[in-house]
Structures are given as C-alpha cells and as structure tokens.
Structure 1
Amino acid sequence: MIQLKPGKYRRRILFLWRGFGIGLALLIFYIAAVNYNFFWLFGGMPDLKALENPKSEIASELISQDGKSLGKYLIENRSPVEISEISPNLINALVATEDTRFISHSGIDPRSLLRVAKGILTGNSSSGGGSTLTQQVAKNLFNTRSEEFEGTLSKIPGVRIVIAKTKEWILSIILERKYTKQEIMQMYLNTVSFGNNAFGIKVAAKTYFNKDVSELDIPESALLVGMLQNPTIYNPVRFPQNALNRRNTVLAQMRKYDDITEDDFNVLSAKPLGLEFAMETHANGPAPYFWESMRGYLKAWVKMYNEENGTDLNLYTSGLRIYTTIDSRMQEYMEEALTRHMQAQQKTFNEHWKGRNPWIDEDGKEIPGFINTAVRRLPYFNVLKNKLGEEEAWKVMNKPYKMKVFSWDGEKEMTMSPIDSIKYYKRFLRAGMMAMDPRNGHVKAWVGGINFKYFQYDHVKQGKRQPGSTFKPFVYTAGLDKNFITPCEKIMDSPVTFQAGIDDVNEDYTPKNSNGVYSEQPLSLRQALGKSVNSVTANIMKMVKANTVVDYAHKLGITSELPATPALCLGTGDVSVYEMVSAYSSFANGGYKVMPMTILRIEDRHGKLLAEFHEQQSQELSENMAYNMLYLMRGAVEDPGGTAGRLRQYGVTDGNEIAAKTGTSQNHSDGWFMGMTHNLVAGVWVGGEDRSIHYRSLALGQGGRVAMPAWGAFMQKVYNDQTLIQYRKGPFPRPEGYTGECATDSTQVSEDVYTPPAKSDDEGVLF
C-alpha cells in the first residue's frame, strides 16, 4: 500500500496546531508558575485565607452616644458601604465608563484585551485600558504590585508589570467564582481612591458634595466616576476644568449606553461642578480635643487586646467602631458657647492691654526677655541652633514670611517672622470645658481649647492650673465630715494666721479676703462659701489641717499631687478641669465617687463586640454629707451677694437647683467656674498660655466673669433643646429625713450678711 505524504496545506495546519498546543501548554505552565511561584522567580500570591477574607485599610470611627461621627483614626480615610446604599446613578456611570461588559465577563474581558493590543500596535493610546472592575478589585485589595509579592524576575523592567497583571487575572477569576457581581462592585467602590485622602465612594461623596452616597445625582456621580481614571489630573478642587471635561465624557458614555437621553446630556453637561468640598479631618470635625485625648488611650487598649487575644488589630486600619459617651448635641452647644464667650473675652482682653504686652511680673511690669525665653524653649529653635549655630538660628527666627494664622475673624494670611508669630499667639486667652453626668460618669461634652488646628494643647485633661476658690468645697467637706464644724455653724469673718512652727509654714501666713476687707461678722457656712470669703475657709483649714484636706480631695476624685500646706485652702495645687468635674460629681451623686467614663463599647468592622465598659462607683461620703455641700454651694446662686448670681440672666435657675463655685487664682491668672445640677456637672477654666499673662484687675479677671458665662450659655442651650429630656431642670435628690437647712441661711438676716463691694463679686484670690 502506498502511503501519501502530507500535503503542503496539511503540514501548515499541523504546524499551527502544534504551535497552538505548545503555546497553550506554555501559557498554562506560565500561569501555574506564577500562581505557585516556581523557584521563587515570580513572587508569592495572597493565600487562600486572604482571598476568602479580603482586607482593606478601613478607618476606625469614634461615634457619639446619639450615633453621630466624632472623627476617625486613619491612614486612609475609608468607610465601607453596602451596594444597596449606593445611588443607581453612580452604578450606571461606573459600568458605562469603566467596564461595559462587567455583567457578562468572568473577570477577564478578551474583547477589551484585543482592543488594547490593537491600540498598542496602531499607536492609538486612546483605545482604553483592558482591566476589568474585577481586576482592579484584585489589584486594590491584594496590592499585587507591592514588594511583598515580588520575585526575582520582578526586578526586570516590563516583566514586573506582566507578572503583576497575570496575578490580577488569576485573582480575578477566583474572585468571580467566590463572589457575586454585586459583591465585587461593592468591593471596588469601597477600595478605590478619589484623591484628597478620600478612599471609597462613601467618603468621596461626603468630601466633595457633603452628601450621603445614596443621594448622589447624575452629574455628581459622573464627576466621581470620572476621577477614577486619575484622581490627581481630574481633581475638581485643583483642576476644575479638567474635572468638568472628564465628567462630561462620562455623561457622554451614559448617553451612549442609554442611561440618559440626548436632552438629558445637553442639560446636565452644561451644569457647574457644584462642589461642597471639605476634607474630613479631626481638626475641623466635632470634639477634636476629645478625639486626640482618646487616641492615646485607644492605642494602648488595642495593644493590650492584641496581647491578650493573639490578634493583630490596628487602630488606623481595622475599622473599629468606638462608641463613646459624648452627646453630639451637647458637644455642639459647648463648642458654640465657649467659642462665643472666648471671642468676647479676647476683645475685652485686647482692649485692656492695648499698646502694651500682657506678660507681666508680680509688680505689674513687663517681664524682660519673655519672648526670647519662650523661643529658647522651642524644639525647633534648638534644632536650628545645633545645625546652624545660635547666631544664624536667631536670624531664621527673625526672618518674615507669609503664613496663615488664627484670628477670631477667621483664618488670615499674614507676613511675620516666627518670633512675631510667638508674640501674636501669646496674647490669646485659652480655655477648657467639660460636662459629665454625675449619675453614671458619662462624659457628655469635652472642649479642650479655642481652636484645635492652632492650639492643640488640651486644657481639659492635659493642662493643670491652680483652681483658686473652686478648691474650697474640699476644705468644707473635710471640716464637716470630721465634725469640726456643722452645716448651720457660724464662723467669724476675721483674719486667721497660720503660725510658723505650728501650722506647717516657715513663716506666719495670713490669707486675705479678695478685697482685703474683713466684716468682723459671724457668717454661716452657706454665706461664707456663697460669697467665697477666704478667712472662713482659712479658719476651717486651721482646724482640720492640710493633710486631711488633701486626703478628702484625693478620695473624691482629684488625682494630682497636692501641696499639704495652709495655702491649699485657697487652691494652690495645680489640677485639671477633668479632675475637678470628676470630684464635684461626688457631691451631685449622693457621695458616690464615679470615675469619668468616655467609652461605652468597641466593635470590630463587622459589628462583633470586642469590649464593653461599665461605670465604676465607690461611696466616699454619706448621702447627707454630699447634700450638705450641695446645699452650701447653692448659696452662690440663690442668695444675695452670691458669686454666681449672674446665672439668673441665662434663664437656667428658674425651676432648677444649681450648686456652684467660682474661682480665681493668684493675680487673676486663672478663672474657674464649677456648676452642678442634679443630672449634669460642668467645669470651665480660662487663662493665658503662661501664668504671667492675665488681666490686671480682679473686676475683669475673676472666674465669675471670665468663666461662668460660658457655663450659663451652655446650659441655656441644653435646656432649650427639647430632645435632651434626660437633662431637664429639677431639684437635687433630697436624702430622706434631711434637716441640714439653716434658718439663718433661708431668712438671710441682714446684720449677719457680709456683702463685698460690687467690683469684687467673685472671691478668693490668692495673695
């Protein structure tokens, strides 16, 4: 039998088939080699566990008790959103522009790849990209182009990209098998960057339009989808025309695929961008000082939790949901009240010091070299000095340049030197204010300063200053609880001297009244505390001794070290607003010390409870003794001549009981006000950055003027909010059978009342 040789065409077909087979085998081998990282040439792939539980960096969020965001801890500002919450307008714009065959392909779109290949061969760079949404999800979620997944061949230019693309193809196919199209699109929209530290569509909608993602209209959706091609070039803030052109390109794609009509396109493409841009940062968000204070605590908690549970949580990337005790409404009211008050105080302060520098010594003279001393304390100056030498460092500090500075009229651009800026900022008064529910310790509002962007030092917990006469209640408490005095006892308003060698002083010490005048009249405790008469407090201190007063202050909530000296009766020991609010809450809580509580619970990104926190209380005073102190401190508000009588003008006293204390430290450096109701305790401090910066007169610098109005305005706002029912006005709970009220206090016998001059309606200045 004769065997015929294959014909010419048959040989070519066989050759092609062999070539195809070899090519297919090589392709399969190549994909397998990449997938399994043969000989460590290609770099690793994300493991199966990572594929089943893809991670992305999600910011942890601080949430108020009433469900409002108080800020985020983040590297990338990202908050996930469900696909059902996303506007259909955005879905249509995305599919029409980025992946028109998203529904039909299986992770890789051959038609798109052929289009790209044709574009490369013909030099047509506008032919578009070949990556599907699924491939982009793979790249974003697993960061396939990072050094972590690089092998030996990845060092070769060009080869690195091919290998990375191959990994993305493999991952895309796996993702398509494991997830629905809706889930993949949700992953995509939650991982992409929109520039300006806005990651994910939810944050982008808030950043650029101040909208929820469900509220985006067609042109807004088109703008955001258009940015995906290049968030820098199409940044609508920096390059509005580029962004507008790109948005209209997306609208044209939507018209092409019948998502909008021709008429719709003509109308929508003529619209302006309509931005409401605001980058989400803790500096311009609510409660920034609280946010910063909690950051250190939460980092420590995360570290402890990881050690105890073998986990790898990260405050900035794990998407924790941290539920706090802060009430967003009360936080807003406190910020508004303190801002308005401090704006007015600064105006008064500037007028008071017009033409002069406010840093003065005990004799009222300007402190020489004050600014130079402040400069020498700066780390920046010392870095300059070590690098350039002292002479050159001073030249740098004196060189003017343009800078943005804080002002009560808004941020301003000015030309000044660093030294000039120090002089400028030293003139600003600072403040701290906090409110807490005494019944459970929940901190409801926290304002640590006048502007977090420019003044980041927290005057609620971080800053400590002399409390002046707001410390007196601890002296009275010690005297009453140790039975040295009784609630209805009267004490003479006359000089009291602590003697050297007898009363723990090196030389004789006689505390003075705020105006240097003594009535030489017997005053009830309520009268003396309400008018803040120093001599009566000194008399009680002499009875009970300083060590006893220190013990009582500490057991009620003061944690700072206190000087056990007679001068402590007028508040010489530095304390924080945080401590004072905590300690005063013991009076309003029936003698139970309750620790300030800021965090209620912490959940992971999926809502799993990781930790729950509970109040901590311990009874330190009897209920009757605590009520005694409330009764005495009500005199400052209710009785003639009381230092807090001005609260009536805020409408907060009608139908209400308020126990209060004003305080002013030496030379009027620190103004304080502590106010208590049956359901809220709040404290305010106002002063300069340095103790040498203050008003020159008690009439202007006393706590009843520089601090108390902020408390009154805050409480007025709280009472005007009908949604804050749990903080309504009312009396303090009266212990059963309580008989501590005194007839003299209620009738106010005129001959027993010492009324200081009107200009000194505050109290205990240290001398």
Structure 2
Amino acid sequence: MIKTYFKKYKKQILIAIASLFGLFIIFILSVYLGAWGHMPNEKELANLQLDQATEILSDDGTLLGKIYINDRQPVPFDSIPKNLIDALVATEDARFYEHNGVDNRSLLRVFFKSILLQDESSGGGSTITQQLAKNLYPRKNLGSLGIIVHKLRESIIAKRLEDVYSKDEILLHYLNTVPFSDNTFGIESASKHFFNKSAVNLSTIEAATLVGSLKATYYYNPKLFPERSKQRRNVVLSQMKNYEYLNEEAYDTLSKDSLKLDIQQYSYNDGLAPYFREHVRLYLKEWLKQYNEKKDTSINFYTDGLKIHTTINYEMQKLAEESVQEHLSKLQQQFEESYGKNAPWLTDKDLIETELAKTIAYKKLKTQGLKKEQIVDSLQQKKEITVFNWNGKSKENLSTLDSLQHYLKFLNCGFVAINPKNGALKTWIGGINYEYFKYDHVIQSKRQVGSTFKPFVYTTALENGIDPCTYFSVAPVAYENLKGWEPTNASSKEEEEYMNYSMEYALSNSINTIAVKVLEKAGIQNTILQAQKMGISSTLPEVPSIALGTAEVSLMEMAKAYTTYVNNSVPATPFFINKIEDDKGNVLLENKQKEKEGEKAFSDTTREIMLQMMKSTINSGTATRLRNSYGLKNDIAGKTGTTQNNKDAWFVGITPKLVSVTWVGLDNHKIGFKTTAMGQGANAALPIFGRWMQKMNREKELNPVTQAKFETPSKEILESLDCNPEKRDGFFKRLFSNPDKKKSKRFKTKA
C-alpha cells in the first residue's frame, strides 16, 4: 500500500522533500549572511576588543578596586594554570583538541530533539569554541526558531574562530570572557573575587569550583550556595578523573576537602577605600575628557582596561578602616546612650520636620499638591527596607520618617594620611559606609577646626618675633569692642586667677584664653596670611574667634598645612596618582612630584620650635592618652581640637613620615555630643589615630614609617624653650588685684 501511495504521489513527495531541503539551505544561508544577527568575519575576529575593567592599584600594585561595565580583567595564557584548563576541558568539552570548533554529533542531537521532538531541555552540545562565540556575540530572543538559529550562528562563528586562533588562544579568550557568579567576567576577576588571588595561583579545588559554577552561575554560586557548589565541584573533579587528569587517590582526597572562600568585593559600594576610588573615578572623568581632546583619542575608562597606579598604601588603608570601625562602633553606642530617650533626632520636632522636608519623598508628594499634614502622614507608612548598622545591614519595617531618624543619629568621620615629604596620599576614608553615606568628608566637607587652628596662630606669633618663652595670663578677658565676648577654658586648673603660662604649655594644653591673646599680639591678618602660606585655601574670617578654630576648613587643607612642620617649612601639595597606563602598558600620565618643592611658609627656627611644642601635646598635654592608654612610643607630635557645642572633634597626628588628620562628628550641624568629655578631640577623634598606630607598629613592613625619628633639635632651639611652663603673678600684683572683678579691655585688631 505504501509503495502504491509513493508511486502515485512520488512527484509531489520529491517536490516536498526538495522544497524542505531548499528551505533548509535558504535558512542556513540566511543565518550565514547575517539575517538573524551580525556575523563577524575573520578579520573582525582576529582583532577582538573585549571590554576591560579599569584597575585602581595601591602603591605596591595591589588591587584596590575596579571601574567597569563588565567586571573583566584579561590575563595572558601563561597566567592560566594547567589544572584549570584540565577541569574546563574535562567538564565542558572533552573532545576540544579533536574537533574544528563544532562537535557534529552533539549538534545533530540538539537539532533533531529541538525540531522533531520539541524538547526544550535538549540544550548542550556546545563546544568551548561555540561558547566563546556566544560570549563574544550574545544571543537575542528569536522566538521558537531561536535555539536552532543560535546553534547554527555559533557554529559558523566557532569555525571561523578556529581558523583564526590556536586551541590555546581559544581557551584564553574563553576564560577571559566567560561570565562567572556575582557578575564577574573572566577567570582573573572571578579568582580575585572568590579566592583573593590571581588565576595563576588557583588550586585544583578552586579551579574546579569556578569551572563548576559555569553550568549555572547563580544556582552554583559558591558564596550563596556553598553545599550545592561543593557537589558541583565534585562532579568536575569526577570528570577530571574520568579523563585521566586526576588519579583515583587525588580525586578521593580533593573531593572530601571543604570549600574555602576568601571573598573580596570590588563593587563601587564595597571593598577597600570606596570614597577614594570614587574620587579617582571623578578625576579620571575630567582628565580623560581633556586627554582625548588633546590627543584625538577615544579612551573609555569603563571599558578600556586602564591601570591607575595610586599613592594609597594598601596595608595602611586597611588598618585605618579597621580602626575607624572599631572606635566608632563603640563611640556610637555611648553617644546614643548619653542622650537616651531625649535624643534630638527623636524629640526635636523642628529638626525632624526641617530634615524631612529635604527628602526626595517629601518633595515628590509636595509637587502633587498635598498639604504638610498629609505628606507627613503618608511618610509614616511602613515598609521593609535594608538599613545600615554597625553590626551589619539589617532589614527593618520602617517608614520614611523612621529611616530619617535612624540616619540622623550616626556619627561620621573623615581620615586622611599624607606623606609630608612629597604630598603622596597614603590613606583616605571619607565616611563610615560609602553605600549609605556618599558624602566625602576628606574633600567635600568643611567643618570648624577648633583648636587644630591654634598652631597657625602660634606659628604667626613666632614669625613676628614673639619669644616662645613669653608668658600669657590665663585669666579670662571680656573684650569690650566685641560685644563683651569672653573666651573661657574647659579645664578648672587653668582658671587660677594669677597664673601665667609659656606658649609651649598653653599650646600643648590648648588654653583658649591664651590662644586669643597670642592672636592679638600676632595679628589677625598676619595669621590668615600665614595659614594661606601653609596651604589653607578656604576663606578665613577676620575675627578674633579664629584663634579658637571657628573657621571652616577641609581635612585635605589641614593635612597640607601641617606637612610644613616636617617638610622643611614647605607645604606638600597632596596628590594621589603615580601613573596611568593603558591596557598595553603605555604610560598616559606620570606624576614625578619631587620633595620639598615650593617656597618656605616660615623659618626653620619657627618650624623646629613648633614641632617641639606639638611634641609636648603628646607627651604632657591634651593628647597624653596616646602614651598612657595606647602605649605608643613612636616619635609623634600633634594637636587635638574640639569646636563649640561639641559639634566637631579633631586630631592631627604628625610623625616624621606621615601627617594624618581625623575628624569625627555628625553630618547634621544641629546635633553635637552631649558632653565635652565625650565630644572632645582627645576622646572622639584621637583614638582612631591611636588604634591605627598600634596596628601599624605590629606590621614589620611598615617599620620604615612607624619607627622613623624626628630630626634632633638644635641646642639653640632647646635653649629658647628652656623656661618654666608656668609663672605666678608677683605678691604686689596679686595684692592690688580684685579677683572678683571681671577683666575687660578692647581687642587690638592690628598687631
């Protein structure tokens, strides 16, 4: 019957078969000619340009972070270990070295299952070369014929790749492009992310783990699903055993080993030095714009794999961030407990309403025409959100109002350390958590500097011929021409009516009344000019209260100004990039900043005297806890600072090879520490420096920095300071003075 049917319809059947065959040929030609998507020719494939992450490196070449669209760091073939290649070939393409890019048996299986049986799970069949084609030219949604189009297209591209590249080059391109878990692209990025090492150093277990994750990067993510990842890893090890890349004994040992990760974050919000890395990104944006215009190039730092060699010291930065976390997590708890239920972020209605009105949510509702009461009511609706806490992120059911109050209470900080000899920045901490507090307190913020301004006043006095052993009365004075303004001191010891102190004692113990009197002798305008010579660029108010630090200045300016005391009186201009290279190693920018460039801000004699005075701050003044509590024996000079109403706490630490500046306070200027004991620089800011130095002292590689010694002061300098720190008024002066009568006078605005 079949024969009869065939004879009867032979012509029609042959025409149908020929038509189907013709359609299939046309279909293949349409794929070949690019009707279903771009088909690269061999010339294009021979000049592959992969997106590469720009790397931000520390001063020793350690990776600090990356700037990227796709997190990819291509490496050469000699950086690919054999165990990784063995794991990949055994698992993904056992006949890799035998085929020409396409495994025809697997391809036919996929074709017939997909077309004839409509089996969507047929998948597989892709060689490593075909997978490389897919990585280079991602698939698009093409409907029901998609799987066939993709397989044909990738097969054609794969054969072209095999004509252009050797097997080793194909493996290299594949491993440099393949996506791994956690949005990492390429083996080097994945190795550094999951194991904190370069791919060349991957162990067999680590290599098998990463290769195993390629089957389903989320499902087998070793960070999220360690047990599942381990099972898949053992499948890879089993394949390596089956294809004789591992012997039975090695397999048995490795398959029982536990999964050990060393996760390193290189996202914008996480990882080391995020505030600094953002500053680098912003700098690159502007610098490259000018560079491209000048050189007629089109370099893109998101995709072109630049290497930014910075001045940041990896170990110093890591230890500094640890110190900030350790100190502020404890101080935050004490801060909240000191206010209790009467905290301003909970009870100050005006403060809360003012800050609420600044939120995006409030402004959005206001544009919709809602009244204030309606907006506030709406912003009290609760929802689950993730918030920052010192013990980690947590999901909480909070309203916009709750969230505002939560973040209003946090103490923030800035910390920067600079090499005073050449201006190279060594650490940069702009805040407590970049993800939740984007504002950078190193470069963006300007706060009142408190007593850390006093050294500029004393420097001016010395430059204007005032002898360092000049004595000043500690007694408070009400200045008639300043509306009766009367500076006072925090310590009761200094309130002795008839006591006078030397400049060294007054500075090291931060006596306010004397600082104003020194300013009067030195001159306000002279002091402002002196501060500007030292590197202060912010506008300084011409008022007597400047002696107490009412001027608002950035941390970076303060760091620059203080370098003069250990850099031959010359302010060191801060810089943070040593060199910028392109992906081929060509140098695009190189900073050859030399030491001690620029004009002296003051005499060497003044510098030596000031350094001795600030050593006394550490040894016997307001910063003695560095010796007593932290046990530091390093050569250190410095100055503490506390502003009015305990809003800002400062500490400047000076060592022979580092100048560091620390600030601690709240972003909202209306909230301060409840007590001076808690909010003073010696308590709120100094401990960060103290912990940091303790940690650095334990690191032998940092000994050249931490164990450096100050220059030995000359005999003349020591003699100029050789006077009793205090002197009591004589008998007759005390006899004819009325201790109960408030002293008043006019402040001399010109010295």
TM-score tier (shorter): 0.7 to 0.9
**How has the CA–CA distance of structure 1 residues 367 and 392 changed in structure 2, closer, same or farther, with 3 Å as cutoff?**
closer
Give distance in 1, aligned partners of 2:191 and 2:657: 39
Cross-structure match for 1:177: 163
Shift of 1:186: 0.9
**Where in structure 2 are there 5+ consecutive unaligned residues?**
1-10, 731-751
Choose from 354, 375, 379 the match for 2:360: 379
Pair 1:647 & 2:633 matched: no
SS in 2 for 1:84: helix
**How has the CA–CA distance of structure 1 residues 169 and 738 changed in structure 2, closer, same or farther, with 3 Å as cutoff?**
farther
Q: How does 1:747-766 map to 2 (within 5 A)?
A: 748=725, 751=728
Choose from 679, 685, 688 the match for 2:663: 685
Cross-structure match for 1:150: none
Choose from 213, 220, 226 the match for 2:199: 213
SS in 2 for 1:311: coil
**Where in structure 1 are there 5+ consecutive unaligned residues?**
1-11, 147-154, 361-365, 754-767
Pair 1:133 & 2:128 matched: yes
Cross-structure match for 2:744: none
Amino acid at match of 1:633: M
Cross-structure match for 1:57: 51
Per-residue displacement from partner, 1:378-412 (whole Å, max 9, x unpaired)? 12321243348345542342122333333333333
Cross-structure match for 1:330: 316
Per-residue displacement from partner, 1:550-590 (whole Å, max 9, x unpaired)? 22222212222222222111111111222111111112211
Pair 1:99 & 2:93 matched: yes
Give distance in 1, aligned partners of 2:179 and 2:43: 25
Give distance in 1, aligned partners of 2:340 and 2:330: 15
Total equivalences in the alignment: 708
Per-residue displacement from partner, 1:233-285 (whole Å, max 9, x unpaired)? 44455566765665555455444433345676677667776666665434331
Shift of 1:91: 1.6
What is the identity percentage for the equivalent residue pairs of Structure 1 and Structure 2? 38
Cross-structure match for 1:454: 436
8 Å contact kept, 1:670–1:685: yes
Choose from 417, 436, 439 the match for 1:435: 417
Give distance in 2, aligned partners of 1:126 and 1:613: 57
**How has the CA–CA distance of structure 1 residues 615 and 49 changed in structure 2, closer, same or farther, with 3 Å as cutoff?**
farther
8 Å contact kept, 1:97–1:254: yes
Structural RMSD (CA): 3.6
Give distance in 2, aligned partners of 1:670 and 1:262: 66
Per-residue displacement from partner, 1:172-211 (whole Å, max 9, x unpaired)? 3443333221121011011111232121122223444555
Cross-structure match for 1:230: 216
Give distance in 2, aligned partners of 1:116 and 1:591: 77
**How has the CA–CA distance of structure 1 residues 224 and 675 changed in structure 2, closer, same or farther, with 3 Å as cutoff?**
closer
8 Å contact kept, 1:719–1:727: no
Choose from 261, 271, 284 the match for 1:285: 271
**How has the CA–CA distance of structure 1 residues 497 and 479 changed in structure 2, closer, same or farther, with 3 Å as cutoff?**
farther
Cross-structure match for 1:363: none
**How has the CA–CA distance of structure 1 residues 273 and 490 changed in structure 2, closer, same or farther, with 3 Å as cutoff?**
closer
Give distance in 2, aligned partners of 1:44 and 1:129: 23
Shift of 1:450: 2.5
Pair 1:574 & 2:552 matched: yes
Cross-structure match for 1:341: 327
TM-score by length of 1: 0.83
Pair 1:468 & 2:450 matched: yes
Pair 1:665 & 2:653 matched: no
Give distance in 2, aligned partners of 1:481 and 1:264: 76
TM-score by length of 2: 0.84
Cross-structure match for 1:527: 505
**How has the CA–CA distance of structure 1 residues 742 and 636 changed in structure 2, closer, same or farther, with 3 Å as cutoff?**
farther
Pick which of 464-473 and 124-133 moved more.
124-133
8 Å contact kept, 1:487–1:742: no
SS in 1 for 2:518: helix
SS in 1 for 2:437: coil
Shift of 1:664: 0.8
Give distance in 1, aligned partners of 2:152 and 2:170: 19
Cross-structure match for 2:102: 108
Shift of 1:666: 0.5
Per-residue displacement from partner, 1:334-378 (whole Å, max 9, x unpaired)? 122222222232232233212321469xxxxx6432212211111
**How has the CA–CA distance of structure 1 residues 34 and 383 changed in structure 2, closer, same or farther, with 3 Å as cutoff?**
same
8 Å contact kept, 1:528–1:536: yes
Cross-structure match for 1:632: 613
Q: How does 1:298-697 map to 2 (within 5 A)?
A: 298-358=284-344, 367-387=348-368, 389-390=370-371, 391-483=373-465, 485-496=466-477, 498=479, 500=481, 507-515=483-491, 517=495, 519-615=497-593, 617-619=597-599, 620-639=601-620, 642-649=621-628, 654=633, 656-697=634-675
Shift of 1:44: 5.4
Amino acid at match of 1:450: I
Pair 1:74 & 2:52 matched: no
SS in 2 for 1:351: helix
Give distance in 2, aligned partners of 1:492 and 1:403: 57
**How has the CA–CA distance of structure 1 residues 515 and 261 changed in structure 2, closer, same or farther, with 3 Å as cutoff?**
closer
Per-residue displacement from partner, 1:486-540 (whole Å, max 9, x unpaired)? 333333334455554xxxx6x4533333358364433221122112122222123
**How has the CA–CA distance of structure 1 residues 382 and 157 changed in structure 2, closer, same or farther, with 3 Å as cutoff?**
same
Give distance in 1, aligned partners of 2:345 and 2:150: 64
